[in-house]
Structure 1
Amino acid sequence: MPERLAQHPWFDASETPRTLAHRGLVTDAALAAGIVENSFAAVAAAHAAGAVYVESDCHVTRDGVAVLFHDDDLVRVAGDPRRIDQIELRELEQLMAERGGLVSLAQALESFPGVRFNIDVKADAAAETAGTIVGPFADRVLLTSFSDQRRLRALEAALAANPQQRPATSAGWSTVARLIFALTIHSRRGVAAALDGVDALQLPERHGALRVVSPRLLEAAHRHGVEVHVWTVNEPDDMRRLVALGVDGIVTDRAADALALLKP
């Protein structure tokens, strides 16, 4: 894949294909012991398995602390119906103590200096907080969100905290939709506009009946120096097939297996 004139340092940690540990790594044994995704233990396990890229998610607590958490609430993880933004940090730490331990965004960046983080900002209230925390670590972070507006707010806050280096970023859904439309009507100008300022596309292979990751999309992204990472891929045959197709990264729940299978 052609490189940009100044590739973001987030990409320097490994060659392609990259393995991105989805919400850390929770093995079957860890799951049986009550460990959950996005916990301190899950991030530590991914790091111990050799993952240099960890994909995670970000919400804010009631008292304004950015924490690694995927869902809006605690129903799936702890059987508690409350939202993350309704719970203060201390209580959330207590709830997560037997589930692998809560980890804040700041703690993750400070505790795992060898890890590149892929942070998906899940809540509007988390955008500025996450961006400000990420700023000093911008060389090690890719910021993203399904919402491009939220993503851009987080990037703006990160640049305000560290004007010397912006985080890497991957496109939100509105940008992806503009890109697919431009590809459909064969508009090179539209493709270039959609990919401007984007370092990566992080996508499912399909969205319902729509094939999202196609040879045409890969060619266009690579022509503009943009990587394509596919989520969430857990079957070895799918990993091999997608890498053969030309994708640059696999987001997976089985990071240890993917690292062994996709070793550059």
Structure 2
Amino acid sequence: MKKILQIFILLIASIGFAQQDVTFDKANKLYNQDKYQEAIDAYKSILDAGQESASLYYNLGNANYKLSNIGPSIYYYEKALELSPGDEDVKNNLAFAQNATIDAIDVIPEGFISRTINGFTNMLSFDGWAWISVICMLLFVILFILYYTAQISSRKRLFFISSWLILAVGLMGIVFGFRQYDLIQNNQYAIIFAQETIIKSEPNLRSEEVFELHEGTKVQVTETVNDWKKIKLADGKIGWIPAADLKEL
């Protein structure tokens, strides 16, 4: 009975995935016919069903960009990058969308070492680094066994050196994977969706206005109080914004 139930669940899941594939193809056709809003609605129906992918977010970003929805387009490109950090198409389209934003925010420059480490960290997602670590550990075990069983000294030396190099790569994968995970957990970002919003010094409407932001600007969310979010910009400015004016990634 338990086995029949498992087969039934798998069958239902496969039908659901097939239906989402049909919807995705339909949305792509609508996009190619310049029916961008209808395409967006179709893509979102897939998200509402609990499915997500880098290509789905990428296509949503493209459709919103075509309608000049700068905030949503940047949001979905950023979501696509979370799932596929090394995708050059997503990076290029995100750059185009960011060029359409109003706010020009100076980014505090990173040092060479920090920039290099962050560059390596963002080459892959957390899952990608995890897979590299697992594969390297398996290869390390295989090469070490070959080292012990090899009879020829040159082969023993080759297997020994190769095994430790593979182990080093695997350990680096673990380090970069956990760093990627830590960056995601401890750095909550959001995209401004309001066309224009006033940033306050405190989480209430009576507080002082410190600056204003516009649609599409990326901010870091550091605190939440009721319906207000405390944000920090890349240039170090901080303030409070109504939660309804942004969407967290």
Taking structure 2 as the reference length, what is the TM-score of the superposition? 0.31
- Higher gyration radius (CA): 2
Q: Whose helix fraction is larger, Structure 1's or Structure 2's?
A: 2
Q: Whose strand fraction is larger, Structure 1's or Structure 2's?
A: 1
Question: Which protein, 1 or 2, shows the higher relative CO under an 8 Å CA cutoff with sep ≥ 6?
Answer: 1
Taking structure 1 as the reference length, what is the TM-score of the superposition? 0.30
